[in-house]
Amino acid sequence: MAIKTVLVTGPTGYIGGRLIPRLLARGLRVRALARRPAALEGRPWSASVDVVKGDVFCGAGLKEAMAGVDAAYYLIHSMSDMENFENTEEVSANNFASAAVEAGVKKIIYLGGLGGDSAGLSHHLRSRRRMGEIFRARGLNVTELRAAIIVGSGSISFELIRYLAERLPFIPCFQFLRNTRCQPVAIRDILAYLTAALDNPLADGKIIDIGGSGVYTYRELMQIYAETRGLKRGFFNCFMWSPLVASKFVGLLTPVPSVLAKPLLESLRNDVVCSDARALEIFPDIKPLDYRTAVQYALMRVSENAVETSWTTAYEPHYAKPCSFIDTEGIILQDHCITVPAPAGNVYKVFSGIGGERGWFYAQWLWSLKALQDRLIGGVGLRMGRRHPDVIHQGEALDFWRVERVIEDRTILLRAEMKLPGKGWLQFETRPLGAELSMLRVTAYFEPRGLLGNLYWYLLYPVHTIIFRGLTAEISRRAVLIKA
């Protein structure tokens, strides 16, 4: 069965964003289905991919996306801070399956989750299992790869382990996780299995458990990470903590919000290990890494600022529903414009590198105070960080903002994902005025929601004035210091 054209769903996600360039490298024609195609702009591979705007939950764009496709990857995951995500996943899978049957797609490759067939599976794992059942019930040729924790730079599971081990001298061993076992798998092995399954007839119609070369307890996962980093860490037992309480604790100490930590922790209550060695028989050329080696590779990528994709790109809080900026009545703005004695390219380089480890250049304590207030009311705070300190793409997270627009060497537009009584944007813009002279404009836009929204804006107006004046001055200073 010759595969020439492949559809990838979830292209903005952690797995999809890494799989696409590897499929292109194999000479395949790749089509991507995305709710927000603009979020793919600026990726190194975006010009080589056919992008279709659509949404599997609504069924929009599926017919166009499936037309002429030989194989399709289902990499969509609806686990988020929304109620009834299981229903969302089931509707999405049924819509996808119907479109695949109608288009005559030869093969479906689905990445699901490990876990026994017992009735005690978590909601998350049960939903993962249900997706594969839906595809097979429609008569599709499905290769279902089942994995546990994925270890790689930018993966949500790895970030959870990393931050707990880095920040806590004594790490809690939650009672509900003490005796369960996990078989983590490296991201490079996941990608190897996904690509190899495409043209391997032995994988057709199979459910294949994939994992690394070792099985570990929760405590061992944390201990091995600490040893790899040269950290001395102690452990203590938490007998009274439920997954809900534990997730709240994790949400305070790591970038992973408690609403996402909870289903992850609940899943670890089940043993998530491979039930057989079928993967090694079907894919003999793939030699899975052990957990310690996978951690070493992930840390190397982090230290080199070479994180290819991150879980934060796909995650958007339910209260920060995607919305595009439209210049219309009802929007208040605050604008600060100065002349900078430096080329526009220097100015862009400075403001496009804002946030993350560098912070917000001016009055950082005020930004941190705002982040603390946001987290106390259930917002994201500054936890999201940024994927790369210098390179920024549309659709990525940047602390408590989402990158909504990037015009190279000119503009970045950020959309607020903090909890606000309205919708907010922050735009940085530069234009050349001469060889060594440029304009810098920083503009805050706000669409207030009712009286509270208006009060919020005007009460903070003096503070915003101080911040933005200092911010523009600091960007100018840093731009001047950049050597030609």
pLDDT at 191 (0 to 100): 96
Is 60 exceeded by the pLDDT of residue 351? yes
Q: What's the rounded Cα separation, in Å, for the pair 270 and 29? A: 39
Q: What is the pLDDT of residue 183?
A: 93
State the Cα torsion 233-235-238-239 to the nearest 10°.
170
HSE, side-chain direction, 13 A CA sphere, residue 483: 0
C-alpha span between 11 and 18 (Å, rounded): 8
Residue 370 in this model has a pLDDT that exceeds 80: yes
Task: Provide the CA 20 distance to its chain's centre, in angstroms.
Answer: 15
pLDDT tier at 324, thresholds 50, 70, 90: very low
For residues 473 and 466, give the distance between their C-alpha atoms in angstroms, rounded to a whole number: 11
Distance CA 431, CA 347 (A): 9
Residues 435/451, Cβ–Cβ less than 8 Å? no
Residues with Cβ < 8 Å from 114, sequence gap 6 or more? Answer: 125, 146, 147, 148, 183, 209, 211, 272, 273, 274
Place of tokens 């929601």: 449
293 closest CA partner among 372, 184, 368, 131: 184
Hey, what's the torsion of the CAs at 37, 329, 334, 39, to 10 degrees? 0
Q: What phi and psi values does residue 2 have, to the nearest 5 degrees?
A: -80, 125
Tens-digit pLDDT profile for residues 72-128: 999 988 655 455 677 888 888 999 999 999 999 999 999 998 877 655 677 778 888
User: Cα 280 vs. chain centroid, distance in angstroms?
Assistant: 29
Which token pair is 176? 């509900």
Please, what's the largest Cα pairwise distance for the chain? 69
- The pair of structure tokens assigned to 360 is 């917000």
- Checking if the pLDDT of 29 tops 80, the result is yes
Q: Can you give the C-alpha Rg of the chain in angstroms?
A: 23
Q: Is the pLDDT of residue 43 over 60?
A: yes
| Pair 438, 432: CB distance under 8 Å | yes
Q: Alpha-carbon torsion 354, 356, 358, 362, what sign?
A: positive
pLDDT at 454: 84
Q: Can you point out the beta strands (E) in 132-280?
A: 142-147, 150-151, 170-174, 181-182, 185-186, 207-209, 216-217, 234-238
Q: What is the sign, positive or negative, of the torsion defined by CA atoms of 400, 404, 408, 409?
A: negative
Q: Count other C-beta atoms under 10 Å from residue 228's C-beta.
A: 17
> Which tens digits make up the pLDDT trace of 150-173?
999 888 888 888 888 888 899 888
Q: Across the strands, what pairs with 170? A: 234
- For residues 81 and 117, the answer to whether their CB atoms sit within 8 Å is no
Collapsing DSSP to helix, strand or coil, 428 comes out as strand
**239: which DSSP letter?**
S
Ranges of beta strands (E only) in 50-106 are: 50-53, 71-74
Show the tokens assigned to 243. 């997954």
At residue 320, does pLDDT exceed 50?
A: no
How do residues 373-385 score in pLDDT, each as one tens digit? 888 887 777 777 8
**Burial bucket for residue 328 (CB in 10 Å: 0-12, 13-18, 19+):** exposed
CATH number of 5-313: 3.40.50.720
Closest CA to 475 of 444, 442, 443: 442
Provide, rounded to the nearest whole percent, the portion of the chain with pLDDT above 90. Answer: 45
Instruction: Report the residue count for the chain.
Output: 484
**For residue 316, pLDDT beyond 90:** no
* Mean pLDDT computed over 441-454: 87
Indicate the domain borders of the chain. 5-313, 328-481
* Phi and psi angles of residue 102, each rounded to the nearest 5 degrees, phi first: -65, -35
Residue 240 pLDDT: 65
Distance separating the N- and C-terminal Cα atoms of the chain: 55
Q: pTM, whole model, 2 decimals? A: 0.79
DSSP string of 294-325? HHHHHHHHHHTT-----HHHH---TTS-----
From the candidate CATH numbers 3.30.2320.80, 3.40.50.300, 3.30.530.20, 3.90.1010.10, the one assigned to the domain spanning 328-481: 3.30.530.20
- Structure tokens belonging to residue 160: 């959870």
The model's pLDDT over 270-289, given as tens digits with 9 standing for 90+, comes to 788 998 899 999 999 999 99
Average pLDDT of every residue of the chain: 87
Tokens of 353: 């590198």
pLDDT at residue 327, as a whole number = 44
> Helix, strand, coil % (nearest 5) of the chain?
40, 20, 35
Three-state SS at 446: strand
Confidence of residue 50 (pLDDT cuts 50, 70, 90): very high
Contact 225, 159 (CB under 8 A): no
Q: For residue 102, what pLDDT is reported?
A: 94
Counting residues of the chain whose pLDDT is more than 70, the rounded percentage is 93
